[in-house]
Amino acid sequence: MATRYGFLSTHPPTRCGLATFNAALAASLLAGTGSGGVVRVTTGGAEGPPGPDVAHTWQAREAGGWRAAADALNGYDVAIIQHEYGIYPGVDGADVLRLMRRLMVPSIVVLHTVLSRPTAGQKSLLEQIVAAAGSVVTMTGTAYERLVVGYDVDPAKISAIPHGTADHTGTPVVRGPRPHLLTWGLLGPGKGIEWAIRALPHLRRLDPVYTVAGRTHPRVIERHGEAYRTGLHQLGAELGVAHAVEYRSNYLDDAALGGLIRSADVVVLPYDSVEQVTSGVLVEAVAAGVPVVATAFPHAVELLTDGPGLLVPHRNPRALAAAVRKVLARPGAAARTGEVAATMRWPEVATRYEVLADRLLATHAAAAPA
């Protein structure tokens, strides 16, 4: 009998990394023998109407909405819950724990953030979420180690399954006459685009074009409007490199994004965060066979050390420019990504979730009263 999966997460048309991940995982799991639906969490902004795959909507401003959301998930065999602080209502998103305690079906919690220095409340909440879950997934070895070493959790519950990625390797490589640097994803403070722009004056002899693709994060727009993007335009003008920066704010489907990634000579990830244990953009770039220059955030350290790219210190434009020059001087820098990339394709990743779900269901059935 086909497993019925219920997914709890933000979800398209909401545009955020969590929503994109959940949509891809759901599509991959339901493409096989599974069936299911999404319990969509909205965070209060103008996020658009739900699609046909959404069975229930949990509105963040709705008091006690976790009850109906839990009841909706109980209509499936397994609940797959995406976890990120700030997505769910309550202090640090604590209402998701209330939901989990109401579930009658086993749950898999996917952790998108594991903080190395959580507040006491964040640490306690995550420990309780792990305790309430049937199984927990981290997407990097760093996140796994942080969780089992820094938190009071049962290591037997925790699995490491990589972030999935689309397969863009079949997309033709179309390169222009100038070196093409690329950053994509939702924009906002912390993305570090300003450091890449500050690196461009140090790359004048190469005459690169730097594409910044992506809309401003909806939450950033709600709080600050387009101040961050405007500041980037002003910085480029002040440094005399505005002509070298191309901004694309239109939505890109998988095919268009694949073409853009494959047109890049270097993907630049100048993130400010020293906590980021999961980056879908990083995984997508590596899987597409494009060299990466990234600041030393945890996922980049794990994936790029001795691999397809270079790490640079945070907020250091000169070091970033030097790394870009080095990568451009050695064609084929990403040639060793094949074996790693194969384990990150969505079908392979979905299979591992299926195995995990089957094991949970078997355990749940064995524990049920006769």
Q: Domain-by-domain residue ranges, the chain?
A: 4-164+345-367, 180-342
Q: Which fold has domain 4-164+345-367?
A: Rossmann fold (3.40.50)
Return the pLDDT at 337. Answer: 56
> E-strand spans in the chain?
4-9, 35-42, 54-59, 78-83, 107-111, 135-138, 158-160, 180-184, 209-213, 245-248, 266-269, 292-295, 309-312
pLDDT band, residue 46 (cuts 50/70/90): low
Q: How much is the mean pLDDT over the chain?
A: 92
Return the pLDDT at 331. Answer: 67
Which residues are CB-contacts of 14 (< 8 A; sequence separation ≥ 6)? 40, 42, 43, 47, 48, 218
Return the pLDDT at 176. Answer: 86
Return the pLDDT at 370. Answer: 60
Which residues are CB-contacts of 238 (< 8 A; sequence separation ≥ 6)? none
Over range 189-193, report the average pLDDT.
97
Q: Using the predicted structure, report yes or no on whether residue 32 has a pLDDT greater than 80.
A: no
pTM (two decimals): 0.91
Look-up of token digits 């489907």:
253
Over range 286-309, report the average pLDDT.
91
What pairs with residue 8 in β-bridges?
Answer: 39, 81
More confident residue, 191 or 34: 191
Q: Which CATH number fits domain 180-342: 3.30.565.10, 3.40.109.10, 3.40.50.2000, 2.60.40.1120?
A: 3.40.50.2000
Q: Which two tokens mark 213?
A: 């693709």
Q: Using the predicted structure, report yes or no on whether residue 150 has a pLDDT greater than 70.
A: yes
**For 82-86, 250-254, 307-311, which range has the lowest pLDDT when averaged over its residues?**
250-254
Contacts for 337-341: CB closer than 8 Å, 24+ residues apart? 337/286, 337/287, 337/289, 337/307, 337/308, 340/286, 340/287, 340/303, 340/307, 341/165, 341/169, 341/286, 341/287, 341/289
